[in-house]
Chains A and B, each alone.
Chain A
Amino acid sequence: MKITKMLLPALVAVAPFFYSCEQKTDVVESGTYQGTLHEVEPEKNEIYVKTDDNKLLELYFTETTTLTKNGETVPFAELKEGGKVEVEVEKTGQRLDPVAVRILE
């Protein structure tokens, strides 16, 4: 009885957290955007950038993507969640290919 009372509200309470684990991403036109690193996935060479106008861009690095900081090329490990970046993206179909990623701070 006691455990039932505890478990049911707990199940209901965690449900929204399950749902919010994955987020929809946005597609923007080709151009340069500034924002913060929302998520960094080193094993996939992938970043999520939250732009200043609150759009979430999912970017997979390609073989030609450049990553720089103060004008110098840096490794992917330099990207930290919460960091400020500027990204130059090229829209191909509905896919966003990062041409250049510049770490601002």
Chain B
Amino acid sequence: MNEPTFWRTEIWHPLSVHFPIAILLLATIAISIAGVTRGDQKFFWQKAGSYLLYLGALSAWVAIYTGDMADATVSRKICDPTVLKDHEIAAFNVAYLFSAAAMLNILINVNILKLWPKLLRLLVVVLMVIGAGYLTYAGHLGAQVVYNQAGGVNMPASDCAGF
């Protein structure tokens, strides 16, 4: 038996991309809850959301990096690389929007930005909600690449040779 190698270059992207998807969506929910709660609850959700946001923004760039690695292989095989391009553009929007939200959140939390705190907190939520929209869209396009075009998927021979 000689199965195809699993650890191909394009495999690193699906392995890394699901962390930012989950973390950034949770961060958006947590920060949004912080916006409508008070006292200890607000403090908890703000703190939890902030840490999730920082971790999610960082892992989004890791996913961008692994996606760029996969791009060179997948683009040469799939039938409609324009979907992959749209996926890439949406993913960059996600990374930029959540990174901007993370930077703004840090500037507010360390008291560098003291003016209009409520407005700035609202701006963080708005950036994250738009980012979550792009995240959903990027995920949808990524799924199209995998499930409609078999991007990054090993196609076994019809006689299952190699297994």
Residue positions of A touching B, CB distance < 8 A: 1, 3-4, 7-8, 11, 15, 18-19, 21-25, 27, 43-46, 58, 60, 62, 92-95
The answer to whether B38 has its CB under 8 Å from any CB of chain A is no
Q: Shortest beta-carbon distance, A4 to chain B, in Å?
A: 5
* Chain B residue, CB-CB nearest to A21: B92
Q: Shortest beta-carbon distance, A5 to chain B, in Å?
A: 8
Pick the residue among A1, A23, A46, A95 that contacts B79 (CB under 8 A). Answer: A95
Residue positions of B touching A, CB distance < 8 A: 71-72, 75-76, 78-82, 85-86, 88-89, 92-93, 96, 100, 103-104, 107, 112-115
Pick the residue among B72, B86, B100 that contacts A60 (CB under 8 A). Answer: B72
Cα distance A46–B3 in the bound complex, in angstroms: 30
Cα distance A18–B85 in the bound complex, in angstroms: 16
Q: Which A residues touch B71, using CB under 8 A?
A: 44
Question: Does the CB pair B89–A24 fall under 8 Å?
Answer: yes
The 6 closest A-B pairs by CB, nearest first: A93-B79, A94-B80, A44-B72, A18-B96, A22-B89, A4-B115
Contact status of A7 and B76, CB under 8 A, knowing A1-B114, A25-B85, A94-B82: no
Contact status of A4 and B114, CB under 8 A, knowing A22-B92, A44-B71, A94-B82: yes
B76, B88, B107 interface centre (most CB from chain A within 10 Å): B76
Beyond contacts A24-B86, A95-B81: 5 other A-B pairs, Cβ-Cβ < 8 A, are A1-B115, A4-B114, A4-B115, A18-B92, A95-B80
Question: Does the CB pair A11–B104 fall under 8 Å?
Answer: yes
Contact status of A62 and B76, CB under 8 A, knowing A4-B113, A4-B115: yes
Q: Which B residues touch A25, using CB under 8 A?
A: 82, 85
Cα distance A95–B80 in the bound complex, in angstroms: 5
Q: Shortest beta-carbon distance, A97 to chain B, in Å?
A: 8
Contact status of A60 and B76, CB under 8 A, knowing A7-B113, A11-B104, A22-B88: yes
Contact status of A46 and B80, CB under 8 A, knowing A1-B114, A22-B92: no
Cα distance A93–B82 in the bound complex, in angstroms: 11
Q: Which A residues touch B89, using CB under 8 A?
A: 22-24
